[in-house]
Amino acid sequence: MNHVPLTNLDYVEFYARKLKQNPEIFIQQKKLIESQMKSSKEIFRKKFGKNFKENARKYLRKIGLIE
Amino acid sequence: MENKSYYIDEDIIVINRELNSLDIFVRDFLDILKKYSEYLIVSGYVSISTGRTRGTEDVDCLSIIMDKKKFEKFFDELKRENFWCYQGETINEIWKYVEAKNSLRFARTDEIFPNMEFIFVDSSRQAKFFELTHPQKIRIADFEFLIPPIEFEILYKEIILGSEKDFADAGHLREFFSDMIKKEKFDEYEKIIRGNLG
């Protein structure tokens, strides 16, 4: 099928179709995940400092992830 | 098999890619959990592990409720292996969540994301209990783990969860696994999932 993707779901399906035919595309996904995890680690270590857990729990309460 | 993104090897779905840091986080957590309980990885990580390219902050893991003694050993081992629990430091702090079947979240020491959302299931949660007891094996490199049947995961996202992100995850799975998904499985699982709504 060679139609132009129009919606977000069209893009997801288009990408899945291409990926199914070509495992090399997994390399791009790996780069995205590594980048996201590295950034998250650096941001929160900087933000919460030495009292990581205490400061993290305050933040997690604020955003509603814990009571 | 090198030119295919996935293939089936004796009922195991094999994804043809290298492990990434998110996979290693999940693998390390499951290496501990497997000693104590049955489990099932569900939702976003099922789509991401099979190639859906999107960010995620949590990995959802179903588990059978453990007794307090066993759970304490599991919790202590997680701490020894550098995981921390959002909800508390001691078994007495977190046991009330287990008793109430509220989920717990675990991350690596000095990290927040990704976290493992640990969801307790018993037979009263019919659809979740069904998928937990009917797992599909999947393997990426040397990491083998359990997910729901693909047709079940697709329907659960479309019928129960239903956000734009869930429909996109389901769309990815429908397209990526179009060669292996079966209509009769959709019919079977839809009854179970819709039965759980009533």
- Domain ranges in chain A are 8-62
> pLDDT tens across A34-51, in order?
999 999 999 999 999 999
Q: What is the pLDDT along chain B (198 residues), one digit of tens a residue?
A: 568 999 999 999 999 999 999 999 999 999 999 999 999 999 999 999 999 998 888 999 999 989 999 999 999 999 999 999 999 999 999 999 999 999 999 999 999 999 999 999 988 888 889 999 999 999 999 999 999 999 999 999 999 999 999 999 999 999 999 999 999 999 999 999 998 664
Has residue A12 got a pLDDT over 70?
yes
Q: Which tokens in the block code for residue B95?
A: 């046991």
Q: Which among A25, A28, A65 is the nearest to B105, CB-wise?
A: A65
ipTM given for this complex: 0.90
Instruction: Tell me the whole-structure pTM to 2 decimals.
Output: 0.94
Is A43 in CB contact (< 8 Å) with chain B?
A: no
Q: What's residue B3's pLDDT? A: 80
Q: What is the 3-state secondary structure (H, E, C) of chain B?
A: CCCCCEEEECCEEEECCCCCHHHHHHHHHHHHHCCCCCEEEECHHHHHHCCCCCCCCEEEEEEECCCHHHHHHHHHHHHHCCEEECCCCCHHHHHHHHHCCCCEEEEECCCCCCEEEEEEECCCCHHHHHHHCCCEEEEECCEEEEECCHHHHHHHHHHHHCCHHHHHHHHHHHHHCCCCCCHHHHHHHHHHHHHHHC
Find which of A20, A34, A38, A47 to mutate to test the B interface (most B CBs within 10 Å of its CB).
A20
Tell me the CATH number for domain B18-195.
3.30.460.40
* CA separation for the pair B138, B118 (Å, rounded): 20
* CA separation for the pair A33, B18 (Å, rounded): 12
Q: What's residue A3's pLDDT? A: 64
Q: What's residue B41's pLDDT? A: 98
Name, in order, each residue with C-beta under 8 angstroms of B48's C-beta and a sequence gap of 6 or more: A33, B22, B54, B56
Q: Is the Cα dihedral B158, A24, B30, B144 positive or negative? A: positive
Pairwise CB contact (< 8 Å): A26 & B5? yes
